[in-house]
């Protein structure tokens, strides 16, 4: 029997999608990608994501599946878990043996929903950083299911320095007695004090959950304090600063393992995406290498260098600077809205997002600020010299957002610099 089979290439099967992927490939190669939640996945991560593991359906957990033929899949999932334990156990508070890991959530938001399902009933009180102050939708914002099904009590930041007001967190927690207390952010440039959150949670009998989606790579490398072993449960995406696929992972104390596992499956989803699980394992293996610690430190160094260069050019930074991978810039003193600035910068091959700032008088879809992240440019091995140049480019574009000659010139200069720093994972 002839078992030869030749798959047709994407360009032959679907030239339209092939063309669009090639166009995105060029965009990612020729632009400075400064979205704080984006990065470049390695070719190895991408190969795992595009592997035959996408063919396999695997409801249940390793050695406890509902379908047969799981011998290889079980090994893949167990390998991902063991590597994550080894990696994050290096900076965790306590023994790695006390950590349980679930790698099946499809993404960060479902991972957070699993926490709610594990510990809360509809109508329970929850607390998280408010979205306008830099929190996440799934921490109780009113447009999210988490703000509709639960009584959400948001905490905020101080008016004077825009740092999380831990006194307010404690006061609100004592007043409202939340079932679940979140620590996690999407637009907050400072270190989170997980021990302080733990103390407050203990005072009011709350489950303490930490969402480290943005800073997982920094936590793994020890350049940001780890909540693992401190929080009852820790959620994270597997991309962003971690440089893995678009998936998620949950760490929790062993005593909560059964609740978390049941909440993920069968509570919220069916079979896991095995190709993503394999790619998480690959990303964890990459993060276990000494070079990853250097990379994570460079992310922070670049953010600080960019903050200094932006400040020198008269930009106003929320909290006055950064301790992590991102900057939040208030453009009010530049008399330009964040959306106008981000659209102009995009045309100049500088890709970032407009963002609300604390106590923003403007609406969320037309806010006062922009958010800048350094994980992607650091993956290209760009350093302080490029950060200084980046501040100059941003200043030129923001000062003349409708001058297409300025924007075109900056775009060409950006492409020239990008050509010197090859992007990992791309086929150019």
Residue 352 marked ligand-binding: no
Asked if 74 and 63 count as a contact pair (C-beta separation under 8 A), the reply is yes
The catalytic position among 57, 106, 149, 421 is: 57
The catalytic position among 138, 186, 237, 378 is: 237
- Active-site annotation holds for 59: yes
Round to whole Å and give the CA distance between 291 and 354.
32
Residue 131 marked ligand-binding: yes
The catalytic position among 33, 240, 304, 380 is: 240
Round to whole Å and give the CA distance between 56 and 70.
8
Q: Which residues pair with 181 in a beta bridge?
A: 127, 208
The catalytic position among 56, 246, 297, 396 is: 246
Q: In the numeric block, which tokens belong to residue 219? A: 């936590």
At 234 the three-state DSSP class reads strand
Residue 50 marked ligand-binding: no
Between the CA atoms of 28, 32, 35 and 38, what dihedral angle is there, to the nearest 10 degrees? Answer: 40
The catalytic position among 38, 59, 301, 413 is: 59
71 burial level (CB within 10 Å; 0-12, 13-18, 19+): exposed
Round to whole Å and give the CA distance between 337 and 370.
9
Round to whole Å and give the CA distance between 141 and 131.
7
Residue 137 marked ligand-binding: yes
- Active-site annotation holds for 211: yes
Cβ atoms within 10 Å, residue 27: 13
The catalytic position among 28, 77, 211, 286 is: 211
- Active-site annotation holds for 246: yes
Q: Which residues pair with 45 in a beta bridge?
A: none
Round to whole Å and give the CA distance between 242 and 82.
16
Binding-site residue set for (6S)-5,6,7,8-tetrahydrofolate:
131, 135-137
Catalytic residues: 57, 59, 211, 237, 240, 246
Binding-site residue set:
131, 135-137
């Amino acid at each position: 029997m002839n078992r030869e089979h030749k798959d047709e290439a994407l360009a032959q099967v679907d030239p339209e999608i092939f063309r669009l992927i090639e166009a995105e490939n060029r965009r990612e190669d020729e632009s400075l990608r400064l979205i704080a939640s984006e990065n470049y996945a390695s070719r190895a991560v991408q190969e795992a994501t595009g592997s035959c593991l996408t063919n396999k359906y695997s409801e249940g957990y390793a050695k406890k599946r509902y379908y047969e033929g799981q011998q290889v899949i079980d090994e893949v999932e167990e390998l991902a878990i063991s590597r994550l334990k080894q990696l994050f156990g290096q900076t965790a508070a306590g023994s790695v043996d006390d950590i349980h890991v679930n790698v099946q959530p499809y993404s960060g938001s479902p991972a957070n929903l699993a926490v709610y399902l594990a510990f809360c009933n509809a109508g329970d009180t929850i607390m998280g950083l408010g979205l306008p102050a830099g929190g996440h939708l799934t921490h109780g914002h009113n447009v999210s299911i988490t703000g509709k099904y639960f009584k959400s009590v948001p905490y905020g930041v101080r008016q004077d320095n825009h740092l999380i007001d831990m006194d307010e967190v404690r006061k609100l927690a004592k007043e409202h007695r939340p079932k679940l207390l979140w620590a996690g952010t999407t637009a907050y440039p400072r270190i989170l004090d997980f021990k302080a959150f733990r103390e407050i949670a203990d005072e009011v009998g709350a489950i303490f959950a930490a969402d480290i989606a943005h800073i997982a790579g920094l936590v793994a490398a020890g350049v940001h304090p780890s909540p693992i072993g401190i929080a009852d449960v820790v959620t994270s995406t597997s991309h962003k600063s971690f440089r893995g696929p678009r998936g998620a992972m949950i760490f929790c104390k062993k005593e909560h393992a059964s609740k978390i596992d049941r909440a993920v499956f069968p509570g919220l989803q069916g079979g896991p995406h095995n190709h993503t699980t394999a790619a998480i394992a690959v990303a964890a293996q990459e993060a276990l290498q000494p070079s990853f610690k250097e990379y994570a430190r460079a992310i922070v160094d670049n953010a600080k260098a960019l903050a200094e260069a932006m400040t020198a050019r008269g930009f106003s930074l929320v909290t006055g600077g950064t301790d992590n991978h991102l900057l939040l810039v208030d453009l009010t003193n530049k008399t330009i809205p964040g959306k106008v600035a981000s659209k102009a910068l995009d045309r100049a091959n500088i890709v970032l997002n407009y963002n609300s700032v604390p106590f923003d008088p403007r609406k969320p879809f037309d806010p006062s600020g922009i958010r800048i992240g350094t994980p992607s440019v650091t993956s290209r091995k760009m350093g302080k010299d490029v950060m200084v140049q980046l501040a100059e480019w941003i200043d030129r574009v923001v000062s003349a957002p409708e001058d297409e000659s300025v924007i075109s010139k900056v775009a060409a200069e950006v492409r020239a610099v990008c050509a010197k720093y090859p992007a990992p994972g791309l086929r150019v």
